Amino acid sequence: MAQTKILRRQKIKRKMITSKVKRMVLFKKLWASFVKEAHDLYMTTGAHVTIVAFSPTGKAYAYDSSNNFDAIERFLNDSKASAIEAGR
């Protein structure tokens, strides 16, 4: 009997990309896939999803499933209320 070789995903060591151009290209690709996953989470579960990230150049990127970014305001207000209740 011939044995079949099972291909498994190999762990890749993560390291900083030194080229600014390559780093930005990778950021944009990963951002697009991250937003797609966030949108899928919203569509399948109804969870309100907001993402904010800053690119290597410092530009802000944001995604909000409701398109009005009220989740950030809700989060900040809830965080303040929680901090007050905790006596911080």
DSSP state of 78: H
pLDDT (0 to 100) of residue 6: 80
Residue 64 in contact with residue 50, Cβ under 8 Å? yes
Torsion angle, alpha carbons of 54, 59, 60, 63, to 10: -90
pTM of the model: 0.68
CATH number assigned to the domain with residue range 20-85, chosen from the 4 options 3.40.710.10, 3.40.1810.10, 3.30.70.1710, 1.10.3720.10: 3.40.1810.10
pLDDT (0 to 100) of residue 74: 82
pLDDT (0 to 100) of residue 25: 95
pLDDT (0 to 100) of residue 59: 94
Q: What is the mean pLDDT of each run of 10 residues along the chain (88 residues)?
A: 74 89 96 96 93 93 86 78 58
pLDDT (0 to 100) of residue 63: 93
Q: Which residue has the tokens 């305001």?
A: 73
